[in-house]
Structure formats: structure tokens, C-alpha cells
């Protein structure tokens, strides 16, 4: 470890910092572990410190340390001739943290303006009695020559380092180049040659970009102002405009990565001496590395990278449960995003819901949180209040979190609170972090929106933004990310069998039917299930069908319905069953994503046009884990509760001798499918749902069963018509008026309560079925369900230690009613529309507490047909998604 010079250079300099209106100790200093002391330094003392530190660097004492500068000093003393012992100032400015902090204190702009640090250090060198400079040159050296023998020297081998050239002109693409450093050469000399400057002292070095631990830096040539006489150079540099567009030489891409002002073309390379070793450390920077750096700066990019699925993965839109989340967690992602855009760490705080608990403020430092998250005591260590007794596991009360994102200057940019309250701290802050990320993602797709629109755009999503500061912070993004290219997968076409809408209705959208291979095992992924697939994506050029592999994974697990993979892939997977495989093609995503994913072949790809190319996916379903609700229902009931519900409905349908049936909220058609397998009097069956994906699956199942007339499974030979409609059951559609029977199994709890009431009104007042069967979970039964299963260790632990309120069975449930709530809803409804209603259920026994697991209401229309107000004029609202009639089959697919 390096010995300290006589004075610690890192002290708070309160008096003078107040005078300058700046804070010397920003967070980054604290993160470096530099402890502020109470000592105060004046501006004069700071200059003295700077001079002292600089002189110290040229002492034999310093040369015996392992400072990253040592390698450069070794080069200096190995240099022959007039330049013996000369060190480029830029090297000292880039590698000595202490000097840097002092420069920043003298002039805060030094942080974003590397030439300014150089000018300050040159001035300090002139003030030092032991250090020499010469006017108009960017070298410094020691009056009394260094003793070369003190620096251990080793013979290097020649090396080759791949680097990138980032031209300042946005029209020119970035390109790779190779730095060939022979055993005798100084790597900075090679960089100087590539930049076209005379010698290595004219190369300016940025701070590290990308991760703090990396040695990736930008190299560019010194601006001419640095060669002015010292004081005028300082003046010019410190007044240099920081605005983006005023200077044509401004390198926007280099600035975007480093946060520093960089002019002219720049090289991006990972090379340098480190604390660990005086041997030269180097790594290749490839084109794919560059594009991955770009990707991780878009809000969902770190998620894609954390899943190592740049093309396939999407940031999920909902934080359902911790155990179903894969990849980095939302808060971590939000912290990374802020770090990458040089914003302050997001501040999470609980809102006071339960007044007996003080509001908590989680430490601003995510790093710290991440470490402690693996322990069961989770947040305690990080709470501002330090109240270690107030645990997640106590389970009293609920939490809402708010998150604030501040600029580096501590101006609030974004504020957002969670809509719902959560019983677990982590669920609450993960959800709110995800809400912000999701919004940022939307914003990044429309970065060019006018500033006036921004606050409305925030309000629309329940987020407060400061438009001026926000657009300032992301001002460069539209240029660097090339917003026009962000259109991700608009259309999707299928390679093989796609049933087209025919000529019946040209307006109907073309729904892909994927080329699915293998027998239907009947085990299909449904919303909320964890599904594991293998996939590979290739880039296909023109009609040649020569696929270049782009991205593939042997195992990729995700939650269906959470938006965790791109839409086409999810649509395909939800139509497949276990062990099936499928192929389909899509349009290209953005060029950035393709090049980021392509790895080794990025260079070759970047030289080619991607026009006329498309992506070919091949996917296989390896595992399907039922959603938690189903798992619970299956573990505790035999046959499974869902099957019991369907059987209950089938029995009632049979007894009723109904010939027409509509299944409201049919989902993927489990009831309709079963009806085909039972002999009933039904002639016409209809399903309605708002989920296009579920309807597609229902269509697939019904289609295959009905169109094979010889299918021995199809018992219900009388069926002459089957239709699936895409529409909301809260809207009336005259085509479904007066059916013999309506079913609505486990649907109402998926709607908001007011919508569920609306459905009740619409169905009994307008659709007017003779019989209506409605089922919904009985909330009072949840304790039994949730005690009886251990979906995963963590949730189990939680369940066992908690009393009411119990969780809903499914994250998509908007409510779960007690028997009393359900009875009052149904009874009111029945009396209003002249129906009678009886209550029943499945799972559990009648009259035994706490009632049935699924409660069922059976409504029957009273014979007096007075008040069913069929509105003859009301046109159909629903769109036919699929239709089958006994001798012809027509499909809108």
C-alpha cells in the first residue's frame, strides 16, 4: 500500500467549498473509501497540497509503491536521449486519484474536462521547485533525475490489443483497430500514432468507462488551448462550453460513455498499469463489447444482459413474485441504470401507512443493499432509522414505497410511488423500481418527444417528472441510440402453415400459426406458469436461408404472461405443449441489439447491410411448472380443482339440456374443450375472452379436435357451430343474446370490482341467458390452500409466520371474495334482474367451515320474461377470432 505524503490530501474543505458553492466530497469519493476529516483547507492550502502531491510522485519513496503510475515512470527512465525521465502530464492526471480530487476542488469542471486537470497540474508543476515543465509542452519531469535502478524492470513481449475508434462525426461508424505494441514500445506512443499526434504527451486519457474496476478508457488528442501559456490556457479551458451541439468536434458518443468532454476522434481501449501489477494489463475491446455498452444504457438493457438473452428477453412488465423473477432484480437494474447515466443512486423510502412505524429510507447505496440481501434479515442493516426490530417477517401492516431519482446535482428528476401496498418490503420496492424502469423504457422509445409532452407522458403512467432536467440528462441519447432504429419486432411472419384470413375480411389481422412439431402432450404453458425453453435465433439473409447463429440458450426459464420474452416468442410458446418444438421468423430488431448479441461475428456483420434479413427462431418447450394457483389446487384436490369446476359445469349443462352455450372469459378453452368430450345436447358453443393469446390456444385445440371428425374423443357429435370472439364481457354483443346457458368460471376476480359488477349487470340485463354459472375463489379458504403447499422455501417461510391477510391465489386477481361478499353480489344482482340464485361450490364439503374452495352461483331466469331489455340496435362489439361450422371451417387466423 502506498505511503501517504505528509498531508492527507483528502480533507473536507468546508469554508472554501461553501464559498464556491460546491461540495468537495461527493459520493464517488466516499465510495473510494476516502474518509472525510474535519480539517479545513483554503484554496491556497489546496494548491499547496497539489504541489506537494505532485512533488511526492517524483520521489524514490513513491517509486517503491505499486501505484498504477509506476509503469509509466519505468517507461520514462528507460527512455533515451533528451526525453529521459519525461512523464506525460495526462498520465498523471488520469491515474492519480488524489491529484484528481484536488483539481476538482480547485475547479469543479475538472471532473468533466480532462484537459482542465492537465492545465491545473501543469500550473502546480510550475509552482513546484523540484518539477520541471516547458512552455507549450505537456511533459513534466524531475529536476534531479530519477534513479532508474529503483524501478524493477521486466522485458515485455510484443502484444496486440483490439480497440475501437469512435469518430466524432456521428455519420461515421465506430470501427475496430489493432494496437500493435512491440516489446520496446510504450503503448501510449502507439495510441498517439493511431490518433495522428506527434508524441504520447499529446494523448489525453479519460477516466474509466464501463465498470469502475475496468481499465477501459477513451484516448483523444489534446486541444490546442492546452499549449497556451499557463494562465490563459486555464482560462480558456475552464470557460469551455459544455454544451453538446455548439462545437462540431464534440464527440457525443465518447462523451456518452465517459461523461467527460471529449473532442475529436477518440480511441476506446482497455490497457494500462494497475495497482495489482506493473505489467501492462490489457483486454480486447470488440465491436460486440461496444454495442453491449450501448445496450446496458437503455433501461431494459441490463435486464437483457443479466439474462444473457439480448434478443429474446424483455424487461417483464410486472413484478409478480420474487420466486418467479429471473435475472437481476428491478431495484438493482434501476441502480445500474442511474449509475450508467451518472445520476445519483435512487432513493427508496417507505410511505407511512401504519403510523406506528417510522418511515424508512433505504440507504442510497445499492451495493450495500445487494450484499445484505442474501441474509434473511434483509434490509435492516440498511435502514436509515436503524430499527432492527421492524422486520419483514413480522407481517403487520403493509408498505408502499416511493422512489426518487436525482441528478448528480441533486435535482429531483423522477418521483414515483407504488400503487398497491405490499406486505413485504422487498415486493414493495421492487415493484416501484420496476414501474420506473418500465416507464423509462417507454420514454427511451420516444426520446425525441417534445419537452412539453414529457410531464403528461409521466402523469399517464403515474410518474412525476421534471421535464427540463430529465431531457437535459438524456439529451445525448437520441443521437447515440439512434431512436429511429428502436422499432422492435413489429410484424411477424410464419415460415410454414399459416391459416390466413382468406378473402372474407381483409381487415382482420394476420395471426401467426407457428410451425409446431411433435405430438400435443396436452401440457401447455399458461399465464403465470414458469416455463423453461431452449431456443436459438439465427440471422437469415434473403431467400438463401443460410442462418448465421445469433443467440441461443439451452435452458431459459421465465414466467408466462409477465412479458419476460419478446412477444412473438411468447405467443409461440403459449401455443405449444411440453416437448414440442417450433420455428418461425420475425423482422429484425434494432441493429444495436443484433450487433450486441452477435459476439465474434459483429465485425463482419457491421460491414454488411442488414436489409432484407430476418430472424429465424427455433424453440422447444422443456419444462412447464404450473402457476402457483394451479399448483396449490392440484396439490390439495383430487381431481384438481380446475377439473372439478369444469366437471361441475358439464354436469349442470347436461342436466339443463341446453343447446346453446357461451363461455364468458373462456381463456384457453378448458371448458369448451371438455364439452367436446362429453355427450351433451349442445349444438352451438361460443367463447369470449380479451386475451388474444389465450384465444389462439383455444382456437388451436378446438380446431384440431373438431376438424378431425373421426377424433374418437369428440363425443358431442351434435355440435354444428363453434365460435371464439375477442372482446370484453362487460360489453354487450347482440349475437350472444338469449343463450340457454352462460358460464363464467374464475373470471370475475380478474377484473376490477366495478368491472365485475358491470359484467353482472350486462350479462343479466342484456345477454339474458336462461342459466348463468359463475365461479370465483373463496377467500376464506386461502389459509388452507396456502398452509398446505410450499411453493418455494421463501414464500413458505413467510406464510408460516403470518396470519391474515392472506395472499391472493394468483397475482392477476384483483380481489378474492368471502362467501358473504359473493352472496351479496349475486343476490342483489339476481333480484334486480328477476333471476333466482343458488350457491354451491367445489373443493370442500357443503356446510363445513370455511366453505368451498371455489364458490359457485347458479342463476336461473324466472319464467316471467318481463325485464330483459334486449337492445336490438346494439351492434356486435366482438371480433370473430375463429369460427367453425359442421361442414366448412373458416378462420380469421
Query: Applying CB under 6 A, which residues contact ligand SAH?
Result: 665-667, 670, 688-691, 694, 728-730, 745-747, 750-751
At residue 28, φ and ψ (nearest 5 deg) are -65, -30
Contact 168, 266 (CB under 8 A): yes
Work out how close the CB of 718 gets to ligand SAH at its nearest, in angstroms, rounded to a whole number: 23
Comparison of 433 and 649: residue with beta carbon closer to Mg ion? 649
681, with CB counted inside 10 A (0-12, 13-18, 19+), is middle
Comparison of 272 and 665: residue with beta carbon closer to Mg ion? 665
Name all contacts of 835-839 with Cβ < 8 Å and 24+ positions apart.
835/764, 835/772, 835/859, 835/860, 835/861, 835/862, 836/860, 836/862
Q: Considering CB distances under 5 to 8 angstroms, the limit depending on partner class, which of ligand SAH, Mg ion, none binds residue 258?
A: none
Work out how close the CB of 331 gets to Mg ion at its nearest, in angstroms, rounded to a whole number: 29
Q: Considering CB distances under 5 to 8 angstroms, the limit depending on partner class, which of ligand SAH, Mg ion, none binds residue 665?
A: ligand SAH
Comparison of 447 and 672: residue with beta carbon closer to ligand SAH? 672
Angle between helices 451-459 and 425-445 (to 10 degrees): 150
Comparison of 111 and 746: residue with beta carbon closer to ligand SAH? 746
Work out how close the CB of 430 gets to ligand SAH at its nearest, in angstroms, rounded to a whole number: 25
Work out how close the CB of 627 gets to Mg ion at its nearest, in angstroms, rounded to a whole number: 9
Strands (E), 613-745: 613-625, 660-664, 684-689, 721-726, 741-745
Comparison of 300 and 746: residue with beta carbon closer to ligand SAH? 746
Work out how close the CB of 729 gets to Mg ion at its nearest, in angstroms, rounded to a whole number: 14
Comparison of 616 and 733: residue with beta carbon closer to ligand SAH? 733
Cell digits for 640?
Answer: 384438481
Work out how close the CB of 104 gets to ligand SAH at its nearest, in angstroms, rounded to a whole number: 56
The whole-angstrom separation of Cα 319 and Cα 882 is 33
Nearest to 639 by CA among 648, 627, 628, 651: 648
Work out how close the CB of 748 gets to ligand SAH at its nearest, in angstroms, rounded to a whole number: 8
The whole-angstrom separation of Cα 12 and Cα 7 is 13
Q: Considering CB distances under 5 to 8 angstroms, the limit depending on partner class, which of ligand SAH, Mg ion, none binds residue 666?
A: ligand SAH
Work out how close the CB of 640 gets to ligand SAH at its nearest, in angstroms, rounded to a whole number: 11
What is the dihedral angle through the alpha carbons of 134, 138, 144, 150, rounded to the nearest 10 degrees?
-170
The whole-angstrom separation of Cα 137 and Cα 615 is 54
Q: Considering CB distances under 5 to 8 angstroms, the limit depending on partner class, which of ligand SAH, Mg ion, none binds residue 730?
A: ligand SAH
Number of residues that bind Mg ion (CB under 5 A): 1
Contact 769, 763 (CB under 8 A): yes
Work out how close the CB of 810 gets to Mg ion at its nearest, in angstroms, rounded to a whole number: 5
Work out how close the CB of 749 gets to Mg ion at its nearest, in angstroms, rounded to a whole number: 5
Work out how close the CB of 282 gets to Mg ion at its nearest, in angstroms, rounded to a whole number: 57
Comparison of 512 and 627: residue with beta carbon closer to ligand SAH? 627
Q: Considering CB distances under 5 to 8 angstroms, the limit depending on partner class, which of Mg ion, ligand SAH, none binds residue 690?
A: ligand SAH
Helix extents (H) in 557-640: 567-574, 591-597, 602-606, 628-636
At residue 141, φ and ψ (nearest 5 deg) are -155, 175
The whole-angstrom separation of Cα 893 and Cα 890 is 9
Work out how close the CB of 721 gets to ligand SAH at its nearest, in angstroms, rounded to a whole number: 20
DSSP annotation string for 594-609? HHHH-GGGHHHHHTS-
Work out how close the CB of 743 gets to ligand SAH at its nearest, in angstroms, rounded to a whole number: 8
- Residue nearest to ligand SAH according to CB distances in the complex: 667
The whole-angstrom separation of Cα 817 and Cα 825 is 10
Residue 587, CA distances (Å) to 49, 253, 556, 569 in order: 60, 27, 22, 12
Comparison of 240 and 747: residue with beta carbon closer to Mg ion? 747
Cell digits for 419?
Answer: 400503487
Contact 408, 427 (CB under 8 A): no
Comparison of 680 and 730: residue with beta carbon closer to ligand SAH? 730
Q: What count of residues does the chain have?
A: 893
Contact 485, 505 (CB under 8 A): no
Q: Which residues contact 494 (CB under 8 A, 6 or more apart)?
A: 512, 513, 514, 515, 584, 585
User: Which residues, numbered 734-753, are part of the site for Mg ion (CB under 5 A)?
Assistant: 746
Comparison of 55 and 691: residue with beta carbon closer to ligand SAH? 691
Nearest to 568 by CA among 587, 591, 547: 587
Q: What angle do CA 237, 241, 246 make, to 5 degrees?
A: 135
Nearest to 665 by CA among 568, 571, 561, 763: 763
Q: Considering CB distances under 5 to 8 angstroms, the limit depending on partner class, which of ligand SAH, Mg ion, none binds residue 568?
A: none
Count of alpha carbons within 13 Å of 393, Cβ hemisphere only? 13
Comparison of 121 and 829: residue with beta carbon closer to ligand SAH? 829
Comparison of 416 and 696: residue with beta carbon closer to ligand SAH? 696
Work out how close the CB of 759 gets to ligand SAH at its nearest, in angstroms, rounded to a whole number: 7
Comparison of 114 and 640: residue with beta carbon closer to ligand SAH? 640
Q: Kindly report the number of other CB atoms within 10 A of residue 863's CB atom.
A: 7
Dihedral over Cα of 861, 865, 869, 874: its sign: positive
Contact 579, 518 (CB under 8 A): yes
Q: Considering CB distances under 5 to 8 angstroms, the limit depending on partner class, which of ligand SAH, Mg ion, none binds residue 745?
A: ligand SAH
Comparison of 307 and 750: residue with beta carbon closer to ligand SAH? 750
Work out how close the CB of 560 gets to ligand SAH at its nearest, in angstroms, rounded to a whole number: 12
- Residue nearest to Mg ion according to CB distances in the complex: 746
Alpha-carbon 831 to chain mean position:
49
Work out how close the CB of 666 gets to ligand SAH at its nearest, in angstroms, rounded to a whole number: 6
Cell digits for 878?
Answer: 366482438
Contact positions toward Mg ion, by CB under 5 A? 746
Amino acid at each position: 500500500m502506498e505511503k501517504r505524503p505528509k498531508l492527507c490530501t483528502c480533507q473536507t474543505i468546508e469554508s472554501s467549498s461553501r464559498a464556491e458553492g460546491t461540495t468537495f466530497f461527493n459520493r464517488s469519493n466516499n465510495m473510494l473509501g476516502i474518509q472525510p476529516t474535519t480539517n479545513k483547507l483554503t484554496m491556497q492550502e489546496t494548491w499547496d497540497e497539489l504541489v506537494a502531491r505532485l512533488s511526492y510522485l517524483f520521489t524514490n519513496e513513491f517509486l517503491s509503491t505499486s501505484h498504477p503510475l509506476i509503469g509509466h515512470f519505468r517507461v520514462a527512465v528507460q527512455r533515451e536521449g533528451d526525453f529521459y525521465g519525461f512523464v506525460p502530464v495526462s498520465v498523471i492526471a488520469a491515474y492519480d486519484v488524489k491529484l484528481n480530487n484536488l483539481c476538482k476542488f480547485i475547479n469543479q469542471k475538472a471532473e468533466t474536462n480532462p484537459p482542465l486537470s492537465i492545465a491545473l497540474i501543469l500550473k502546480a508543476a510550475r509552482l513546484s521547485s523540484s518539477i520541471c515543465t516547458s512552455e507549450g509542452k505537456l511533459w513534466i519531469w524531475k529536476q534531479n533525475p530519477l534513479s532508474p535502478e529503483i524501478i524493477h524492470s521486466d522485458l515485455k513481449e510484443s502484444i496486440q490489443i483490439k480497440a475501437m475508434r469512435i469518430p466524432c462525426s456521428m455519420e461515421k461508424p465506430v470501427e475496430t483497430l489493432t494496437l500493435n505494441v512491440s516489446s520496446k514500445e510504450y503503448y501510449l506512443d502507439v495510441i498517439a500514432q493511431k490518433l495522428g499526434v506527434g508524441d504520447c504527451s499529446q494523448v489525453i486519457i479519460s477516466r474509466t468507462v464501463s465498470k469502475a474496476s475496468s481499465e477501459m478508457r477513451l484516448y483523444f488528442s489534446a486541444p490546442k488551448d492546452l499549449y497556451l501559456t499557463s494562465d490563459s490556457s486555464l482560462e480558456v479551458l475552464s470557460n469551455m462550453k459544455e454544451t453538446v451541439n455548439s462545437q462540431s468536434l464534440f464527440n457525443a458518443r465518447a462523451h456518452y460513455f465517459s461523461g467527460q468532454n471529449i473532442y475529436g476522434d477518440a480511441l476506446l481501449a482497455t490497457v494500462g498499469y494497475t495497482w495489482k501489477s506493473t505489467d501492462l494489463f490489457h483486454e480486447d475491446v470488440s465491436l460486440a463489447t461496444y454495442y453491449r455498452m450501448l445496450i446496458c444504457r437503455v433501461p431494459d438493457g441490463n435486464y437483457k444482459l443479466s439474462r444473457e438473452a439480448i434478443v429474446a428477453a424483455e424487461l417483464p412488465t410486472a413484478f409478480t413474485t420474487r420466486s418467479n423473477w429471473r435475472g437481476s432484480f428491478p431495484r438493482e437494474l434501476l441502480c445500474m441504470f442511474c449509475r450508467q447515466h451518472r445520476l445519483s443512486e435512487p432513493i427508496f423510502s417507505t410511505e407511512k401507512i401504519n403510523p406506528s412505524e417510522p418511515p424508512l429510507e433505504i440507504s442510497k447505496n445499492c451495493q450495500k443493499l445487494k450484499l445484505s440481501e442474501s441474509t434473511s434479515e434483509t434490509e435492516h442493516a440498511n435502514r436509515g432509522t436503524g430499527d432492527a426490530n421492524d422486520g419483514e417477517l413480522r407481517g403487520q401492516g403493509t408498505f408502499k414505497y416511493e422512489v426518487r431519482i436525482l441528478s448528480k446535482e441533486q435535482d429531483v428528476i423522477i418521483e414515483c410511488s407504488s400503487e398497491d401496498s405490499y406486505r413485504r418490503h422487498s415486493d414493495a420496492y421492487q415493484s416501484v423500481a420496476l414501474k420506473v424502469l418500465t416507464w423509462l423504457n417507454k420514454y427511451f422509445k420516444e426520446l425525441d418527444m417534445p419537452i412539453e409532452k414529457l410531464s403528461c407522458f409521466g402523469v399517464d403512467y403515474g410518474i412525476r417528472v421534471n421535464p427540463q432536467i430529465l431531457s437535459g440528462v438524456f439529451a445525448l441519447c437520441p443521437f447515440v441510440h439512434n431512436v429511429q432504429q428502436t422499432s422492435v419486432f413489429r410484424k411477424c411472419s410464419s415460415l410454414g402453415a399459416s391459416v390466413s384470413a382468406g378473402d372474407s375480411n381483409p381487415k382482420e389481422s394476420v395471426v401467426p400459426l407457428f410451425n409446431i412439431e411433435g405430438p400435443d402432450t396436452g401440457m401447455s404453458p399458461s399465464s403465470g406458469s414458469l416455463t423453461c425453453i431452449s431456443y436459438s435465433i439465427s440471422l437469415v439473409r434473403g431467400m438463401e436461408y443460410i442462418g448465421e447463429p445469433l443467440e441461443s440458450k439451452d435452458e431459459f426459464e421465465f414466467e408466462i404472461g409477465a412479458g419476460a420474452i419478446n412477444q412473438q416468442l411468447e405467443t409461440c410458446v403459449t401455443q405449444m405443449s411440453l416437448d414440442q418444438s417450433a420455428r418461425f421468423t420475425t423482422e429484425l430488431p434494432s441493429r444495436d441489439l443484433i450487433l450486441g448479441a452477435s459476439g465474434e461475428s459483429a465485425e463482419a456483420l457491421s460491414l454488411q447491410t442488414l436489409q432484407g434479413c430476418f430472424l429465424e427462431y427455433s424453440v422447444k418447450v422443456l419444462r412447464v411448472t404450473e402457476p402457483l394457483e394451479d399448483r396449490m389446487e392440484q396439490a390439495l384436490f383430487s381431481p384438481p380443482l380446475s377439473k372439478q369446476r369444469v366437471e361441475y359445469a358439464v354436469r349442470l349443462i347436461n342436466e339443463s339440456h341446453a343447446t346453446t352455450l357461451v363461455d364468458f372469459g373462456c381463456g384457453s378453452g378448458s371448458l369448451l374443450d371438455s364439452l367436446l368430450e362429453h355427450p351433451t345436447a349442445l349444438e352451438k358453443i361460443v367463447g369470449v375472452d380479451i386475451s388474444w393469446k389465450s384465444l389462439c390456444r383455444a382456437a388451436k385445440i378446438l380446431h384440431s379436435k373438431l376438424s378431425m371428425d373421426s377424433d374418437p374423443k369428440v363425443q358431442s357429435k351434435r355440435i354444428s357451430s363453434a365460435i371464439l370472439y375477442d372482446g370484453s364481457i362487460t360489453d354487450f354483443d347482440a349475437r350472444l343474446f338469449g343463450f340457454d346457458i352462460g358460464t363464467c368460471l374464475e373470471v370475475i376476480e380478474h377484473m376490477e370490482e366495478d368491472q365485475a359488477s358491470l359484467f353482472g349487470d350486462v350479462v343479466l340485463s342484456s345477454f339474458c341467458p336462461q342459466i348463468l354459472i359463475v365461479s370465483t375463489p373463496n377467500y376464506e379458504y386461502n389459509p388452507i390452500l396456502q398452509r398446505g403447499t410450499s411453493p418455494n422455501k421463501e414464500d413458505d417461510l413467510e406464510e408460516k409466520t403470518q396470519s391474515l391477510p392472506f395472499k391472493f391465489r394468483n397475482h392477476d386477481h384483483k380481489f378474492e371474495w368471502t362467501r358473504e361478499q359473493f352472496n351479496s353480489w349475486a343476490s342483489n344482482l339476481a333480484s334486480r334482474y328477476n333471476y333466482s340464485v343458488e350457491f354451491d361450490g367445489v373443493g370442500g364439503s357443503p356446510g363445513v367451515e370455511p366453505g368451498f374452495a371455489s364458490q359457485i352461483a347458479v342463476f336461473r331466469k324466472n319464467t316471467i320474461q318481463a325485464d330483459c331489455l334486449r337492445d336490438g340496435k346494439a351492434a356486435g362489439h366482438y371480433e370473430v377470432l375463429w369460427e367453425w361450422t359442421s361442414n366448412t371451417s373458416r378462420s380469421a387466423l
